[in-house]
Structure 1
Amino acid sequence: MNIIPTPINNCLIIEPKVFHDERGYFFESFNNVVFTNETGIEVSFIQDNQSLSTKGVLRGLHYQRGEFQQAKLVRVIEGEVLDVVVDLRKDSNSYGKTFTQTLSDTNFKQVYIPRGCAHGFLVKSDRAIFAYKCDNLYNKESEGGILYNDPFLNIDWEYDLDKVIVSDKDKILPLFENALPL
Protein backbone atom coordinates (compact mmCIF):
# COMPACT_ATOMS: atom_id res chain seq x y z
CA MET A 1 0.00 0.00 0.00
CA ASN A 2 1.28 3.43 -0.95
CA ILE A 3 0.16 6.28 1.33
CA ILE A 4 0.37 9.86 0.04
CA PRO A 5 -0.25 12.92 2.25
CA THR A 6 -2.52 15.71 0.98
CA PRO A 7 -2.64 19.44 1.85
CA ILE A 8 -5.27 18.63 4.50
CA ASN A 9 -3.91 17.33 7.82
CA ASN A 10 -4.34 13.54 8.13
CA CYS A 11 -6.27 13.33 4.85
CA LEU A 12 -4.48 10.66 2.84
CA ILE A 13 -4.50 9.10 -0.60
CA ILE A 14 -4.27 5.32 -0.34
CA GLU A 15 -2.97 3.39 -3.34
CA PRO A 16 -3.39 -0.34 -2.77
CA LYS A 17 -1.15 -2.88 -4.46
CA VAL A 18 -3.19 -4.33 -7.33
CA PHE A 19 -2.29 -7.72 -8.75
CA HIS A 20 -3.34 -8.20 -12.41
CA ASP A 21 -3.29 -11.42 -14.39
CA GLU A 22 -5.27 -13.07 -17.20
CA ARG A 23 -8.23 -13.60 -14.84
CA GLY A 24 -8.54 -9.92 -13.90
CA TYR A 25 -7.24 -8.32 -10.73
CA PHE A 26 -7.09 -8.67 -6.97
CA PHE A 27 -6.33 -6.15 -4.25
CA GLU A 28 -6.74 -5.78 -0.53
CA SER A 29 -8.96 -2.71 -0.19
CA PHE A 30 -8.27 -2.23 3.52
CA ASN A 31 -6.09 -3.81 6.19
CA ASN A 32 -6.36 -2.16 9.61
CA VAL A 33 -2.97 -3.39 10.85
CA VAL A 34 -1.11 -2.13 7.78
CA PHE A 35 -3.05 1.16 7.79
CA THR A 36 -2.30 1.83 11.46
CA ASN A 37 1.38 0.83 11.14
CA GLU A 38 1.90 2.95 8.01
CA THR A 39 -0.04 6.06 9.13
CA GLY A 40 0.00 5.99 12.92
CA ILE A 41 -3.77 6.58 12.74
CA GLU A 42 -5.94 4.18 14.69
CA VAL A 43 -9.40 3.82 13.20
CA SER A 44 -12.16 1.28 13.65
CA PHE A 45 -14.69 1.30 10.84
CA ILE A 46 -18.20 0.25 11.91
CA GLN A 47 -20.42 1.13 8.94
CA ASP A 48 -20.10 0.64 5.18
CA ASN A 49 -22.17 2.63 2.67
CA GLN A 50 -22.56 2.44 -1.09
CA SER A 51 -24.29 4.66 -3.64
CA LEU A 52 -25.04 4.50 -7.35
CA SER A 53 -25.14 7.80 -9.24
CA THR A 54 -25.27 8.90 -12.86
CA LYS A 55 -23.09 11.37 -14.75
CA GLY A 56 -23.23 14.90 -13.37
CA VAL A 57 -24.61 13.95 -9.95
CA LEU A 58 -22.98 16.02 -7.23
CA ARG A 59 -23.38 14.80 -3.65
CA GLY A 60 -22.19 17.04 -0.85
CA LEU A 61 -20.61 18.74 0.85
CA HIS A 62 -21.65 16.78 3.97
CA TYR A 63 -20.31 16.19 7.46
CA GLN A 64 -21.42 14.95 10.88
CA ARG A 65 -21.10 17.07 14.03
CA GLY A 66 -20.38 16.47 17.70
CA GLU A 67 -20.07 12.94 18.97
CA PHE A 68 -21.21 11.64 15.56
CA GLN A 69 -18.28 13.03 13.54
CA GLN A 70 -17.02 10.45 11.07
CA ALA A 71 -13.71 9.48 9.57
CA LYS A 72 -14.21 7.85 6.17
CA LEU A 73 -12.32 5.72 3.70
CA VAL A 74 -13.83 6.30 0.24
CA ARG A 75 -13.36 4.56 -3.09
CA VAL A 76 -15.03 3.93 -6.44
CA ILE A 77 -16.09 0.41 -7.37
CA GLU A 78 -17.30 1.34 -10.86
CA GLY A 79 -16.82 4.53 -12.87
CA GLU A 80 -15.05 7.77 -12.03
CA VAL A 81 -15.69 10.63 -9.62
CA LEU A 82 -14.03 13.81 -8.49
CA ASP A 83 -13.77 13.49 -4.72
CA VAL A 84 -13.65 16.67 -2.60
CA VAL A 85 -12.61 17.20 1.03
CA VAL A 86 -12.89 20.45 3.03
CA ASP A 87 -11.15 20.88 6.39
CA LEU A 88 -13.58 22.28 9.00
CA ARG A 89 -11.31 21.86 12.04
CA LYS A 90 -10.64 25.37 13.35
CA ASP A 91 -7.53 24.18 15.21
CA SER A 92 -6.02 22.69 12.04
CA ASN A 93 -3.41 24.55 10.00
CA SER A 94 -5.33 23.39 6.92
CA TYR A 95 -8.66 24.86 8.14
CA GLY A 96 -10.75 26.07 5.19
CA LYS A 97 -8.56 24.32 2.63
CA THR A 98 -9.97 21.98 0.01
CA PHE A 99 -8.51 18.91 -1.66
CA THR A 100 -9.70 17.12 -4.79
CA GLN A 101 -8.76 13.71 -6.15
CA THR A 102 -10.07 11.68 -9.07
CA LEU A 103 -11.10 8.21 -7.92
CA SER A 104 -11.93 5.48 -10.41
CA ASP A 105 -12.29 1.79 -10.99
CA THR A 106 -9.04 1.89 -12.97
CA ASN A 107 -6.76 3.91 -10.68
CA PHE A 108 -7.96 2.09 -7.51
CA LYS A 109 -7.11 5.13 -5.37
CA GLN A 110 -8.89 5.70 -2.08
CA VAL A 111 -9.06 8.75 0.18
CA TYR A 112 -8.95 8.61 3.96
CA ILE A 113 -10.93 11.56 5.32
CA PRO A 114 -10.37 12.39 9.00
CA ARG A 115 -13.11 13.48 11.38
CA GLY A 116 -13.87 17.18 11.12
CA CYS A 117 -13.92 17.40 7.33
CA ALA A 118 -16.78 17.91 4.88
CA HIS A 119 -16.95 15.56 1.91
CA GLY A 120 -18.57 15.44 -1.50
CA PHE A 121 -18.12 14.00 -4.96
CA LEU A 122 -19.18 14.57 -8.56
CA VAL A 123 -19.70 11.71 -11.03
CA LYS A 124 -17.61 12.12 -14.18
CA SER A 125 -18.46 8.79 -15.86
CA ASP A 126 -21.86 7.64 -17.19
CA ARG A 127 -22.46 6.09 -13.79
CA ALA A 128 -20.47 5.39 -10.64
CA ILE A 129 -20.72 3.06 -7.69
CA PHE A 130 -19.16 4.81 -4.72
CA ALA A 131 -18.33 3.01 -1.47
CA TYR A 132 -17.15 4.25 1.88
CA LYS A 133 -16.34 3.01 5.33
CA CYS A 134 -17.22 5.14 8.39
CA ASP A 135 -15.83 4.97 11.90
CA ASN A 136 -19.10 6.18 13.45
CA LEU A 137 -22.79 5.66 12.83
CA TYR A 138 -24.82 8.19 10.84
CA ASN A 139 -27.05 10.45 12.93
CA LYS A 140 -29.62 12.65 11.14
CA GLU A 141 -29.70 15.29 13.90
CA SER A 142 -25.92 15.71 13.60
CA GLU A 143 -25.90 16.44 9.85
CA GLY A 144 -24.06 19.45 8.58
CA GLY A 145 -23.30 20.69 5.11
CA ILE A 146 -21.77 23.42 2.96
CA LEU A 147 -23.01 24.65 -0.40
CA TYR A 148 -21.02 22.96 -3.19
CA ASN A 149 -20.45 26.23 -5.09
CA ASP A 150 -19.43 28.33 -2.10
CA PRO A 151 -17.41 31.29 -3.46
CA PHE A 152 -14.95 31.26 -0.54
CA LEU A 153 -14.01 27.61 -1.15
CA ASN A 154 -13.97 28.16 -4.93
CA ILE A 155 -13.83 24.42 -5.67
CA ASP A 156 -13.00 23.46 -9.24
CA TRP A 157 -15.41 20.58 -9.79
CA GLU A 158 -14.00 20.07 -13.32
CA TYR A 159 -17.57 20.13 -14.63
CA ASP A 160 -20.11 22.67 -15.85
CA LEU A 161 -21.97 23.53 -12.63
CA ASP A 162 -25.02 24.58 -14.67
CA LYS A 163 -25.39 20.92 -15.64
CA VAL A 164 -24.88 19.22 -12.26
CA ILE A 165 -27.65 17.19 -10.67
CA VAL A 166 -27.97 18.18 -7.03
CA SER A 167 -30.59 17.18 -4.46
CA ASP A 168 -32.99 19.86 -3.26
CA LYS A 169 -31.46 19.43 0.20
CA ASP A 170 -27.92 20.09 -1.07
CA LYS A 171 -29.01 23.16 -3.09
CA ILE A 172 -29.89 25.04 0.12
CA LEU A 173 -26.89 24.15 2.28
CA PRO A 174 -25.24 27.15 3.98
CA LEU A 175 -22.04 28.84 2.88
CA PHE A 176 -18.77 27.91 4.58
CA GLU A 177 -18.91 31.00 6.82
CA ASN A 178 -22.41 30.04 8.06
CA ALA A 179 -21.92 26.27 8.39
CA LEU A 180 -22.93 24.60 11.63
CA PRO A 181 -19.96 24.13 13.97
CA LEU A 182 -18.42 20.72 14.46
Structure 2
Amino acid sequence: MNIIKTKLDGVVVVEPKVFGDHRGWFMETYNEQMFKEAGSDITFVQDNQSFSATKGTLRGLHYQMSPKAQTKLVRCTRGSIFDVAVDIRKGSPTYGEWLGIELSAENNKQLLIPEGFAHGFMTLMDDVEVQYKVDELYSPENDRGIIWSDPEIGVEWPIDIKPVLSTKDEKAPLLKDADNNFVFGENV
Protein backbone atom coordinates (compact mmCIF):
# COMPACT_ATOMS: atom_id res chain seq x y z
CA MET A 1 0.00 0.00 0.00
CA ASN A 2 1.44 3.34 -1.07
CA ILE A 3 0.50 6.45 0.92
CA ILE A 4 1.24 9.61 -1.05
CA LYS A 5 1.26 13.13 0.44
CA THR A 6 -0.47 15.93 -1.47
CA LYS A 7 -0.20 19.72 -1.57
CA LEU A 8 -2.80 19.89 1.24
CA ASP A 9 -1.21 18.91 4.55
CA GLY A 10 -2.90 15.79 5.91
CA VAL A 11 -4.74 14.88 2.69
CA VAL A 12 -3.17 11.75 1.22
CA VAL A 13 -3.76 9.46 -1.74
CA VAL A 14 -3.78 5.77 -0.87
CA GLU A 15 -2.86 3.26 -3.55
CA PRO A 16 -3.57 -0.30 -2.46
CA LYS A 17 -1.51 -3.10 -3.97
CA VAL A 18 -3.64 -5.41 -6.10
CA PHE A 19 -2.69 -9.08 -6.32
CA GLY A 20 -4.22 -10.86 -9.29
CA ASP A 21 -4.19 -14.25 -10.90
CA HIS A 22 -6.44 -16.39 -13.12
CA ARG A 23 -9.20 -16.30 -10.45
CA GLY A 24 -9.40 -12.52 -10.18
CA TRP A 25 -7.75 -10.21 -7.65
CA PHE A 26 -7.33 -9.31 -3.97
CA MET A 27 -6.38 -6.04 -2.30
CA GLU A 28 -6.13 -4.65 1.21
CA THR A 29 -8.14 -1.41 1.36
CA TYR A 30 -7.19 -0.43 4.90
CA ASN A 31 -4.41 -1.47 7.24
CA GLU A 32 -4.28 0.27 10.64
CA GLN A 33 -0.58 -0.51 11.15
CA MET A 34 0.45 0.98 7.78
CA PHE A 35 -1.55 4.14 8.48
CA LYS A 36 0.10 4.48 11.91
CA GLU A 37 3.54 4.03 10.34
CA ALA A 38 2.64 6.84 7.93
CA GLY A 39 1.78 9.09 10.89
CA SER A 40 -2.00 8.73 10.88
CA ASP A 41 -3.56 7.43 14.10
CA ILE A 42 -7.20 6.98 13.09
CA THR A 43 -9.89 4.74 14.53
CA PHE A 44 -12.73 4.36 12.07
CA VAL A 45 -16.20 3.91 13.62
CA GLN A 46 -18.62 3.93 10.67
CA ASP A 47 -18.67 2.80 7.04
CA ASN A 48 -20.89 4.59 4.52
CA GLN A 49 -21.91 3.77 0.97
CA SER A 50 -23.70 5.86 -1.63
CA PHE A 51 -25.15 5.09 -5.05
CA SER A 52 -25.60 7.76 -7.72
CA ALA A 53 -27.64 6.81 -10.77
CA THR A 54 -26.76 9.75 -13.03
CA LYS A 55 -23.51 11.08 -14.49
CA GLY A 56 -22.87 14.56 -13.12
CA THR A 57 -24.35 13.91 -9.68
CA LEU A 58 -22.54 16.17 -7.25
CA ARG A 59 -22.48 15.52 -3.50
CA GLY A 60 -20.86 18.20 -1.39
CA LEU A 61 -19.04 20.10 -0.24
CA HIS A 62 -19.73 18.57 3.20
CA TYR A 63 -18.12 18.51 6.64
CA GLN A 64 -19.00 18.15 10.31
CA MET A 65 -17.95 20.84 12.75
CA SER A 66 -15.79 20.10 15.78
CA PRO A 67 -16.23 18.35 18.23
CA LYS A 68 -17.90 15.88 15.81
CA ALA A 69 -15.54 16.49 12.89
CA GLN A 70 -14.83 13.53 10.64
CA THR A 71 -11.79 12.14 8.90
CA LYS A 72 -12.86 10.21 5.78
CA LEU A 73 -11.20 7.48 3.74
CA VAL A 74 -13.03 7.55 0.39
CA ARG A 75 -13.00 5.03 -2.47
CA CYS A 76 -15.10 4.38 -5.54
CA THR A 77 -16.09 0.73 -5.93
CA ARG A 78 -18.22 1.06 -9.08
CA GLY A 79 -17.68 3.57 -11.86
CA SER A 80 -15.63 6.71 -11.28
CA ILE A 81 -15.77 10.05 -9.47
CA PHE A 82 -13.87 13.29 -9.25
CA ASP A 83 -13.20 13.54 -5.50
CA VAL A 84 -12.43 16.91 -3.90
CA ALA A 85 -11.01 18.09 -0.57
CA VAL A 86 -11.04 21.79 0.41
CA ASP A 87 -8.98 23.19 3.28
CA ILE A 88 -11.36 25.15 5.55
CA ARG A 89 -9.02 25.57 8.54
CA LYS A 90 -8.90 29.29 9.32
CA GLY A 91 -5.30 30.49 9.41
CA SER A 92 -4.01 27.59 7.32
CA PRO A 93 -1.45 28.48 4.63
CA THR A 94 -3.67 26.57 2.18
CA TYR A 95 -7.05 27.88 3.44
CA GLY A 96 -9.63 27.76 0.64
CA GLU A 97 -7.40 25.67 -1.62
CA TRP A 98 -8.68 22.44 -3.10
CA LEU A 99 -7.36 19.15 -4.42
CA GLY A 100 -9.19 16.91 -6.86
CA ILE A 101 -8.43 13.36 -7.92
CA GLU A 102 -10.20 10.71 -9.95
CA LEU A 103 -11.14 7.68 -7.89
CA SER A 104 -12.46 4.67 -9.77
CA ALA A 105 -13.17 0.99 -9.52
CA GLU A 106 -10.37 0.56 -12.05
CA ASN A 107 -7.58 2.61 -10.43
CA ASN A 108 -8.43 1.53 -6.83
CA LYS A 109 -7.12 4.83 -5.44
CA GLN A 110 -8.50 6.21 -2.19
CA LEU A 111 -8.40 9.68 -0.67
CA LEU A 112 -7.88 10.31 3.03
CA ILE A 113 -9.49 13.61 4.01
CA PRO A 114 -8.81 14.74 7.59
CA GLU A 115 -11.08 16.87 9.75
CA GLY A 116 -10.83 20.54 8.88
CA PHE A 117 -11.51 19.85 5.21
CA ALA A 118 -14.76 19.96 3.24
CA HIS A 119 -15.39 17.00 0.94
CA GLY A 120 -17.39 16.50 -2.21
CA PHE A 121 -17.47 14.46 -5.39
CA MET A 122 -18.95 14.44 -8.87
CA THR A 123 -19.83 11.22 -10.69
CA LEU A 124 -18.11 10.81 -14.05
CA MET A 125 -20.57 8.20 -15.35
CA ASP A 126 -23.93 6.64 -14.54
CA ASP A 127 -24.39 4.03 -11.81
CA VAL A 128 -21.59 4.91 -9.39
CA GLU A 129 -20.99 3.51 -5.90
CA VAL A 130 -18.78 5.24 -3.35
CA GLN A 131 -17.74 3.85 0.03
CA TYR A 132 -16.02 5.69 2.82
CA LYS A 133 -14.92 5.14 6.37
CA VAL A 134 -15.27 7.86 9.01
CA ASP A 135 -13.75 8.24 12.45
CA GLU A 136 -16.78 9.99 13.99
CA LEU A 137 -20.45 9.07 13.83
CA TYR A 138 -22.84 11.17 11.77
CA SER A 139 -24.04 14.18 13.76
CA PRO A 140 -26.96 16.06 12.15
CA GLU A 141 -26.52 19.05 14.46
CA ASN A 142 -22.88 19.43 13.32
CA ASP A 143 -23.48 18.68 9.63
CA ARG A 144 -22.52 21.63 7.40
CA GLY A 145 -21.81 22.41 3.78
CA ILE A 146 -20.34 24.90 1.33
CA ILE A 147 -21.75 25.58 -2.12
CA TRP A 148 -19.99 23.47 -4.75
CA SER A 149 -19.61 26.48 -7.08
CA ASP A 150 -18.04 28.95 -4.62
CA PRO A 151 -15.95 31.21 -6.90
CA GLU A 152 -13.49 31.95 -4.08
CA ILE A 153 -12.58 28.25 -3.95
CA GLY A 154 -12.85 27.73 -7.71
CA VAL A 155 -13.05 23.94 -7.93
CA GLU A 156 -12.61 22.95 -11.57
CA TRP A 157 -15.23 20.22 -11.86
CA PRO A 158 -14.42 17.98 -14.84
CA ILE A 159 -17.89 17.78 -16.39
CA ASP A 160 -19.30 20.97 -17.84
CA ILE A 161 -22.99 20.25 -17.27
CA LYS A 162 -25.51 21.39 -14.71
CA PRO A 163 -24.87 18.99 -11.82
CA VAL A 164 -27.55 16.86 -10.19
CA LEU A 165 -27.79 18.25 -6.63
CA SER A 166 -29.76 17.69 -3.45
CA THR A 167 -31.88 20.58 -2.18
CA LYS A 168 -29.48 20.89 0.75
CA ASP A 169 -26.45 21.22 -1.54
CA GLU A 170 -28.22 23.75 -3.81
CA LYS A 171 -28.75 26.04 -0.80
CA ALA A 172 -25.32 25.66 0.84
CA PRO A 173 -23.54 28.94 1.70
CA LEU A 174 -20.27 30.31 0.38
CA LEU A 175 -17.15 29.44 2.38
CA LYS A 176 -16.96 33.00 3.77
CA ASP A 177 -20.53 32.65 5.14
CA ALA A 178 -20.40 29.02 6.31
CA ASP A 179 -20.43 27.89 9.95
CA ASN A 180 -16.89 26.77 10.54
CA ASN A 181 -15.04 26.34 13.83
CA PHE A 182 -11.79 24.90 12.44
CA VAL A 183 -8.65 26.86 13.27
CA PHE A 184 -5.32 25.74 11.85
CA GLY A 185 -3.17 24.18 14.57
CA GLU A 186 -5.97 24.04 17.17
CA ASN A 187 -8.66 21.53 16.20
CA VAL A 188 -6.63 19.31 13.95
- Shared fold by TM > 0.5? yes
Give how far 1:6 is off: 1.1
Alignment-derived partner of residue 167 in structure 2: 168
Contact 1:9 1:93 survives alignment (8 Å): no
Give how far 1:26 is off: 0.5
Give how far 1:176 is off: 1.1
Alignment of 1:84-95 (within 5 A): 84-95=84-95
Give the distance between the partners of 1:60 and 1:181, measured in 2 at CA: 15
In structure 1, runs of 5+ residues without a counterpart are: none
Alignment-derived partner of residue 110 in structure 1: 110
Contact 1:76 1:108 survives alignment (8 Å): yes
Alignment-derived partner of residue 181 in structure 1: 180
Give how far 1:100 is off: 0.1
SS of aligned partner of 1:177: helix
Contact 1:89 1:117 survives alignment (8 Å): yes
Give how far 1:56 is off: 1.3
Give the distance between the partners of 1:91 and 1:22, measured in 2 at CA: 52
Q: Give TM-score, length-normalised by structure 1.
A: 0.96
SS of aligned partner of 1:20: strand
Give the distance between the partners of 1:40 and 1:63, measured in 2 at CA: 22
Question: What is the CA RMSD across the aligned residues, in angstroms?
Answer: 0.9
Letter in 1 for 2:73: L
In structure 2, runs of 5+ residues without a counterpart are: 182-188
Alignment-derived partner of residue 62 in structure 1: 62
Moved runs in structure 1, 4+ residues, more than 6 A?
A: none
Give the distance between the partners of 1:108 and 1:8, measured in 2 at CA: 21
Alignment-derived partner of residue 79 in structure 1: 79
Give the distance between the partners of 2:8 and 2:20, measured in 1 at CA: 32
Alignment-derived partner of residue 19 in structure 1: 19
More helix by share: 1
Q: Deviations over 1:95-138 (max 9, x none)?
A: 11100000000000000001111000000022111000000011
Q: Deviations over 1:33-77 (max 9, x none)?
A: 11111x211000000000000211100000000210000100011
Letter in 2 for 1:144: R
Q: Give TM-score, length-normalised by structure 2.
A: 0.93
Quote the sequence identity (%). Answer: 44
Give the distance between the partners of 1:169 and 1:161, measured in 2 at CA: 19
Give the distance between the partners of 1:72 and 1:11, measured in 2 at CA: 10
Letter in 1 for 2:45: I
Give the distance between the partners of 1:34 and 1:7, measured in 2 at CA: 21
SS of aligned partner of 2:67: helix
Number of matched pairs = 180
Give how far 1:20 is off: 1.5
